[in-house]
Chains A and B, each alone.
Chain A
Amino acid sequence: MSLDINELSQTMLNAFKGQLQANWPQIKHYAEAEAKKLAENLVLIEKLHLLGDMSDEQAALQHKLQKNAARVVLISVQGMSLLMAEQAVNAALDAVKTSVNTALNFTLL
């Protein structure tokens, strides 16, 4: 049995697409919701500062805390995207596993 480059690439592409379509909307929705929450909190910090509920030093500390929170959220988005990519690659390899192993006559994948 020989390997067909068009068939293999199409099978892998379909598997990639399936994984990306299933996972990306969830990550996007989470990132959007968190960006909104962080923006709201930033507005609240400014408001409290103006009202005198927090000193200049406290406002600066709270801004740093906000920045940390945003970085933690972005790291999660980055991690979840990498996991999604990992899943897509593994799904693509799984999709062509049988035909590749049969053609090569040994278990490569």
Chain B
Amino acid sequence: MRIVRWHYGRGCIAALILTLSACAVQWISSYDPVTDQAISQLHRNTETFLSALENQSIPDCLSINHRDFYQKMFVDIRALHVRAQSIPQNELTLQQISLLQDSLGLLQQTHVLQDKSAKCMSPGLIATNRASFESIFVAMMKFELAKKRQTSKE
């Protein structure tokens, strides 16, 4: 009976270790400095745009005068998405990039609707957009920083 238990115990340890050593190596992608820098750059561009809007009056604040900003941001986000797709185990970051892209579309739609009122966005409306985008960018940067710490430990 004791021999059976001894063999069973060793078997369990071996099975546990083999399972862990086989599948617990990496669940999340490694740190990618290019992604990290791209997120920081997108954040800077968004903040520059919102700060400019705060100081503009009609007609400078109209969305038609900011087409270049939206176009460049969409191109940069799509480029980041393509890069992120090439990195293994990067599904969570890909979801975040898709949500960022969708959020930029929502900001643009808000801006276009604002044009109809023939008024610039109020400071409060700019503040809510800023708060939402800050949450998005800070979250993405924190995740990249966590990956960086993890990668440096390996």
How many A residues, CB 8 Å from partner?
A: 49
Q: Nearest-CB distance from B83 to chain A (Å)?
A: 17
- Do residues B122 and A48 form an inter-chain contact, with CB atoms below 8 A? yes
Contacts of B12 in A (CB 8 A): 5
A87-100 vs B, CB cutoff 8 Å, 1 = contact: the mask equals 10110110010001
**Chain A positions within 8 Å of B129 at CB level:** 62, 65
Which B residues from 104 to 154 make CB contacts under 8 A with A? Answer: 106-107, 109-110, 113-114, 117, 122, 124-125, 127-129, 131-133, 135-136, 138-140, 142-143, 146-147, 150, 153
Dominant SS at the B interface? Answer: helix
Contact A72 B99 (CB under 8 A): yes
B48 proximal to A (CB < 8 A): no
Q: Is B102 an interface residue (CB 8 A)?
A: yes
Whether A8 contacts B103 by the Cβ 8 Å rule is no
CB pairs A–B below 8 angstroms (6 shown): A68-B106, A71-B99, A72-B99, A76-B142, A78-B92, A86-B27
A residues lining the B interface (CB < 8 Å): 2-3, 5, 8, 30, 34, 37-38, 40-41, 44-45, 47-48, 51, 53-55, 57-58, 61-62, 64-66, 68-73, 75-76, 78-80, 82-83, 85-87, 89-90, 92-93, 96, 100, 108-109
